[in-house]
């Protein structure tokens, strides 16, 4: 334990320097929970009619809840990259297609904690987050040992919430001397929806906008039908799938309760504890023409995510301004009294959640491979590739964009057929930013065939799965 003295001293000195008036006496233990495919309104506290998420609701009641948080992308890897480096998808090295490029070239949240003397560990549950993604940077332990396959898609490795919780709890049991940063990622709300007992058929029927029977598609896109990999027997009623989704969320919620209990029973008593919970993206339940899928669109159904922050200095409150994945790292570092990442594009929310200081209105962006959305206030503007768009970057500003007008979020109602000029200008300026690292890494794509030959990459179809 002697080795821990020097890093701890460093933490305290750094904390004192950067946050002198509010640095915690001891660096806090920090838990980041990301849930795959979790719509904000799948939580009771965000409006789901049934009390199916008591653990997350309890967390929300103890902390700051942001009602309008936007994911960086509707895909897993780019969103998690934005969480870890506090940069827009367009401004880091992970492109919008999972697995095509690694995260590198920017300091990460975990690296900053580790430099400050923290123990760092991650437990992930989706194969696209395995270490080849580059998301392992800064983690002393990166547990990506996934031993199960999705029921239908054999090469899609994953880990159940119960297993992930058990491994994270075992790691927590060995923490005592040094502060730690723990990231736990849960996969279960992601399709195929297979809620385990006793959650299977535990909820009342779930209301959905579309009630007609849907076709089962030949593909997994979810466009106007049930994705092939989600299909259960001959079931075509969307409400059945929506209920199964909600039951997967309920199961994950119960596991989050176990994880949080272990976290709050761990570590030195004098250290504070910080928790931030969010999701990498949402899930379409019939909005925007897609069912039980994500990854194509960046409309609210696919990118409106829960965002909860708990710390001793945070008073329970709900906030309506828009926040974003890029605010995660600045907020956690500020709560730990650590300096921000040098090239962060997000903002610390600490002044807002501790002191009620109103946040300035920002335009926030969410990007998938073939759509980008700019969110401002309660409206959003979208652009998609038009005819003649560049193949290498369908949303590049030098290509051709198709503007999808402005909409209001609460009901999707069109505000105007023509885009708001200010929002359009902001979106065009955003699209033009492409960091050297992003360009360089794209040129040096992972050679997946080589990795697969080494047995390192799961066998997956080249058609990009919307994870």
Please give the residue ranges that form the binding site for Zn ion (CB under 5 A). 36, 76, 280
Dihedral of CA atoms 347, 129, 176, 174 in degrees, nearest 10, equals 170
CA distance 374 to 362: 10
**Are 247 and 201 contacting, i.e. CB atoms less than 8 angstroms apart?**
yes
Q: Residue 35 or residue 383: which is nearer to Zn ion going by CB?
A: 35
Give the CB-nearest residue to Zn ion. Answer: 76
CB-count burial class (<10 Å; 0-12, 13-18, 19+) for 364: buried
Least distance CB 280 / Zn ion (angstroms):
4
**Are 200 and 247 contacting, i.e. CB atoms less than 8 angstroms apart?**
yes
CA distance 148 to 363: 40
Q: Residue 36 or residue 248: which is nearer to Zn ion going by CB?
A: 36
β strands within 5-153, DSSP E? 29-35, 64-70, 119-123, 141-143, 148-149
Q: Residue 366 or residue 406: which is nearer to Zn ion going by CB?
A: 366
Least distance CB 255 / Zn ion (angstroms):
17
CA distance 53 to 32: 18
Q: Residue 150 or residue 280: which is nearer to Zn ion going by CB?
A: 280
Q: Residue 39 or residue 352: which is nearer to Zn ion going by CB?
A: 39
Least distance CB 30 / Zn ion (angstroms):
22
The string of DSSP codes covering 205-224 is: P---S--S--PBPSSSS-BT
**Are 363 and 376 contacting, i.e. CB atoms less than 8 angstroms apart?**
yes
At residue 381, the 3 state secondary structure works out as strand
* Nearest partner of 90 among 400, 374, 329, judged by Cα: 374
Q: Residue 55 or residue 187: which is nearer to Zn ion going by CB?
A: 187
The string of DSSP codes covering 30-49 is: EEEEEETT--GGGSGGGT-S
Return the structure tokens found at 454. Answer: 């080494």
Least distance CB 405 / Zn ion (angstroms):
28
Q: Residue 71 or residue 374: which is nearer to Zn ion going by CB?
A: 71
Least distance CB 467 / Zn ion (angstroms):
5
Least distance CB 126 / Zn ion (angstroms):
6
DSSP lists the bridge partners of residue 318 as 65
The angle at the Cα of 209, spanning 203 to 212, to the nearest 5 degrees, equals 95
Least distance CB 192 / Zn ion (angstroms):
14
Return the structure tokens found at 281. Answer: 């993206």
Write out the H or E segment, with its range, that includes residue 19: none
Q: Residue 1 or residue 463: which is nearer to Zn ion going by CB?
A: 463
Least distance CB 278 / Zn ion (angstroms):
12
Evaluate the omega torsion of the peptide bond into residue 382 and state whether it is cis, within 30 degrees of 0: no
**Are 187 and 126 contacting, i.e. CB atoms less than 8 angstroms apart?**
yes
Least distance CB 458 / Zn ion (angstroms):
16
Q: Residue 328 or residue 423: which is nearer to Zn ion going by CB?
A: 328
Least distance CB 80 / Zn ion (angstroms):
8
């Amino acid at each position: 334990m002697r080795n821990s003295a020097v890093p701890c001293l460093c933490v305290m000195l750094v904390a004192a320097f950067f946050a002198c008036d509010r640095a915690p006496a001891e660096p806090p233990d920090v838990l980041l929970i990301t849930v795959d495919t979790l719509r904000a309104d799948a939580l009771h506290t965000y409006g789901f009619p049934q009390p199916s998420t008591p653990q997350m609701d309890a967390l929300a009641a103890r902390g700051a809840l942001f009602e309008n948080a936007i994911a960086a992308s509707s895909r897993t890897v780019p969103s998690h990259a934005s969480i870890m480096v506090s940069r827009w998808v367009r401004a880091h090295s992970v492109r919008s297609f999972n697995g095509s490029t690694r995260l590198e070239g920017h300091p990460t949240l975990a690296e900053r904690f580790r430099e400050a003397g923290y123990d760092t560990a991650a437990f992930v549950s989706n194969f696209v987050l395995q270490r080849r993604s580059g998301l392992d940077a800064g983690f002393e332990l990166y547990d990506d040992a996934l031993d199960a396959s999705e029921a239908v898609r054999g090469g899609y490795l994953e880990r159940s919430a119960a297993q992930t919780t058990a491994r994270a709890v075992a790691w927590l049991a060995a923490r005592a001397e040094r502060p730690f940063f723990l990231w736990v990622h849960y996969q279960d709300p992601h399709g195929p929806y297979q809620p385990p007992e006793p959650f299977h058929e535990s909820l009342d029927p779930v209301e959905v906008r579309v009630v007609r029977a849907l076709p089962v598609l030949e593909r997994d896109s979810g466009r106007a039908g049930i994705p092939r990999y989600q299909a259960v027997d001959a079931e075509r009623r969307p409400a059945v799938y929506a209920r199964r989704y909600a039951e997967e969320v309920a199961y994950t919620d119960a596991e989050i309760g176990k994880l949080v209990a272990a976290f709050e029973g761990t570590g030195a008593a004098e250290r504070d504890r910080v928790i931030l919970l969010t999701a990498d993206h949402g899930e379409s339940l019939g909005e925007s023409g897609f069912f039980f899928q994500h990854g194509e669109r960046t409309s609210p159904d696919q990118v409106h995510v829960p965002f909860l922050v708990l710390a001793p200095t945070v008073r329970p409150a709900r906030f309506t301004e828009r926040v974003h994945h890029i605010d995660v790292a600045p907020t956690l570092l500020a709560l730990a009294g650590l300096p921000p990442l040098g090239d962060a594009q997000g903002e610390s929310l600490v002044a807002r959640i501790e002191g009620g200081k109103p946040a300035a209105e920002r335009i926030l962006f969410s990007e998938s491979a073939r759509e980008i959305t700019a969110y401002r206030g309660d409206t959003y503007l979208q652009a998609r590739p038009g005819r003649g768009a560049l193949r290498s970057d369908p949303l590049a500003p030098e290509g051709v964009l198709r503007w999808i007008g402005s909409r209001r979020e609460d009901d999707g109602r069109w505000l105007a057929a023509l885009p708001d000029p200010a929002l359009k200008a902001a979106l065009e300026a955003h699209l033009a930013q492409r960091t050297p690292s992003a360009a360089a890494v794209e040129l040096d794509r992972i050679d997946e065939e080589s990795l697969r030959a080494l047995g390192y990459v799961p066998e997956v179809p080249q058609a990009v799965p919307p994870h």
